């Protein structure tokens, strides 16, 4: 007895898998993924066919293969993507902070491609220590005796407190109990490190006597935190680094400073607002200073700890150090970045954050005028595009109140209901092959061009935008 089965309108999975075009896909994505995707595509078509009342033509082989290809490609797209940061914040934490110098990129690639002396002493042939790769550069540029590196500055603060103040008191001014974006709060880090926070002074005023009076038998250190993302103005008083150091040293206590963005050079020499320089804090008596590798320094994400030899030795011996240590890629990128500081005259050209922060408004305005007509053309008649003065933030908590004059392309909706339209436009810019991130301000979408260097690739996005409109 035979059963009658109406012939399936679809080719079989086997038949499809044997096609030459599908073989190519298998080579690229693997046979399992290809077969699974063919099944999924066929299932989807069967379902449509079942559910559609109207005549529905079954897809031919080529259509199915094209669909399988598209699905596999979408599935293998990487999540971490290049973008255009036109947000008006140069060191944007959500967008990856500092762009690294070419020398750092190359050195990190070397470390990824080849075996390297990460923990190997080439002189003796014995075991080495990874920190020594950058320690001498860090001491050279900061005047400190010793240095070590961990995963980020939050980790640096945690490690210093855990190593130097376990179950003991750390004295901090109330005006410095800051929260940095991304849930870094000084009191919380203190608790996690098992150190006891002793707050002194008031939010706006702290005096020398406040520090002195707080010192007791349980005190482990005096600490200062660079209030990096806000400023207290008006009736204020704080104690200088040198004075806090004197008080600490008179009681044989270490003075620890968390500088946050801490710069290795005086930025005012480049016409930028001044940020605390690590060397100055060390010279003022800072025994331990921590700062970020990917803020003003312009290197990879890292937490740098510099200071007195015996304190750094104690910090390195703490078990948390092993848990917070950095990778060979980080060390390679950091070493190559630090090396650039040997030649401060070339730094503007070689260090991307400095290059972007010092870029002239004339240069940015000229770029804006070149791009304005192309953007207007891509957006069409519903939008008005103009060149507008704006201001850039340095970002990453550095120099919070100092804005740099910059130039933006300002996009306005011709119609009244601009809020929704602007949000939609921002979404369209995010969906471009290389997403473009601006900021909405005063019913305008601003594209601050200070950080736009790859003009050609940006123009390619405008072409894609025009096609999408």
Ligand X SMILES: *Cc1c(COP(=O)(O)O)cnc(C)c1O
Q: Which is nearer to ligand X, 153 or 392 (CB)?
A: 153
C-alpha dist (Å) from residue 294 to 94, 280, 331, 333: 12, 20, 12, 11
CA dist 233 and 181 (Å) reads: 21
DSSP string, 83-111: -EE-SSBSS-GGGTSSPPPHHHHHHHHHH
C-alpha dist (Å) from residue 256 to 142, 249, 279, 289: 15, 11, 14, 6
CA dist 449 and 439 (Å) reads: 12
Q: Which is nearer to ligand X, 152 or 390 (CB)?
A: 152
* Coil vs helix vs strand at 222: strand
Tokens 């003065």 correspond to 389
Q: Which is nearer to ligand X, 264 or 446 (CB)?
A: 264
Q: Which is nearer to ligand X, 157 or 272 (CB)?
A: 157
Sign of the CA dihedral running 268, 270, 272, 275 = negative
Q: Which is nearer to ligand X, 59 or 397 (CB)?
A: 397
Cβ 154 to ligand X shortest distance, Å: 3
Q: Which is nearer to ligand X, 92 or 226 (CB)?
A: 226
Cβ 452 to ligand X shortest distance, Å: 25
Beta bridge partners of 292: 303
Q: Which is nearer to ligand X, 160 or 409 (CB)?
A: 160
* Coil vs helix vs strand at 274: coil
Cβ 301 to ligand X shortest distance, Å: 7
Residues that bind ligand X in the complex, under the rule CB under 6 A: 152-154, 157, 180, 184, 225-226, 228, 258, 260-261, 292, 303, 396-397
Q: Nearest residue by C-beta to ligand X? A: 260
Cβ 173 to ligand X shortest distance, Å: 13
Cβ 129 to ligand X shortest distance, Å: 22
Cβ 281 to ligand X shortest distance, Å: 12
Cβ 298 to ligand X shortest distance, Å: 13
Cβ 446 to ligand X shortest distance, Å: 25
Q: Which is nearer to ligand X, 41 or 265 (CB)?
A: 265
Q: Which is nearer to ligand X, 293 or 438 (CB)?
A: 293
Sign of the CA dihedral running 56, 62, 68, 72 = negative
Tokens of 50: 């079942």
C-alpha 126: how far from chain center: 36
Cβ 362 to ligand X shortest distance, Å: 31
CA dist 144 and 282 (Å) reads: 6
Query: Any residues with CB less than 8 A from the CB of 26 and at least 6 apart, and which?
Result: 17, 34
**How many C-beta atoms lie closer than 10 Å to residue 268's C-beta?**
11
* Coil vs helix vs strand at 398: strand
C-alpha dist (Å) from residue 447 to 88, 212, 350, 374, 450: 7, 50, 25, 14, 9
């Amino acid at each position: 007895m035979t059963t009658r089965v109406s012939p399936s309108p679809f080719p079989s999975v086997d038949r499809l898998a044997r096609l030459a075009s599908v073989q190519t896909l298998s080579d690229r994505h693997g046979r399992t993924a290809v077969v699974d995707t063919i099944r999924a595509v066929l299932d989807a078509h069967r379902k449509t066919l079942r559910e559609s009342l109207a005549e529905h033509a079954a897809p031919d082989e080529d259509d199915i293969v094209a669909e399988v290809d598209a699905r596999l490609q979408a599935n293998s797209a990487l999540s971490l993507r290049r973008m255009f940061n036109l947000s008006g914040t140069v060191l944007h934490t959500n967008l990856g902070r500092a762009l690294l110098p070419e020398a750092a990129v190359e050195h990190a690639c070397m470390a990824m491609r080849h075996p390297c002396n990460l923990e190997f002493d080439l002189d003796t042939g014995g075991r080495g220590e990874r920190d020594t790769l950058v320690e001498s550069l860090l001491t050279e540029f900061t005047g400190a005796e010793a240095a070590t590196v961990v995963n980020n500055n939050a980790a640096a603060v945690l490690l210093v407190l855990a190593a130097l103040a376990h179950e003991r008191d750390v004295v901090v001014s109330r005006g410095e109990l800051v929260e940095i974006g991304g849930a870094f709060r000084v009191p919380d880090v203190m608790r996690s490190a098992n150190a006891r926070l002793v707050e002194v002074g008031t939010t706006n005023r702290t005096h020398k006597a406040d520090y002195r009076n707080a010192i007791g038998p349980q005190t482990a250190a005096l600490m200062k935190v660079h209030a990096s993302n806000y400023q207290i103005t008006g009736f204020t008083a704080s104690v200088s680094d040198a004075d806090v150091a004197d008080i600490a040293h008179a009681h044989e206590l270490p003075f620890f400073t968390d500088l946050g963005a801490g710069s290795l050079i005086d930025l005012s020499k480049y016409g930028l607002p001044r940020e605390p320089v690590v060397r100055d804090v060390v010279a003022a008596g800072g025994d331990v200073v921590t700062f970020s590798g990917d803020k003003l320094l312009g290197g990879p994400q890292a937490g740098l700890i510099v200071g007195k030899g015996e304190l750094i030795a104690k910090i390195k011996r703490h078990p948390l150090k092993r848990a917070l240590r950095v990778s060979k890629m980080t060390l390679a990128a950091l070493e190559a970045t630090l090396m650039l500081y040997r030649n401060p005259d070339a730094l503007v050209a070689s260090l991307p954050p400095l290059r972007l922060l010092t870029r002239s408004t004339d240069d940015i305005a000229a770029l804006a005028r070149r791009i304005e007509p192309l953007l207007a053309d891509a957006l069409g008649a519903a939008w008005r595009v103009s060149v507008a003065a704006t201001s850039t933030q340095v970002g990453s908590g550095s120099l919070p109140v100092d804005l740099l004059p910059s130039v933006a392309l300002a996009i306005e909706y011709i119609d009244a209901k601009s809020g929704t339209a602007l949000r939609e436009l921002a979404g369209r810019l995010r969906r471009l092959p290389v997403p473009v991130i601006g900021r909405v301000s005063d019913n305008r979408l601003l594209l601050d061009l200070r950080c736009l260097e790859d003009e050609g690739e940006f123009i390619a996005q405008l072409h894609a935008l025009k096609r999408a409109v």
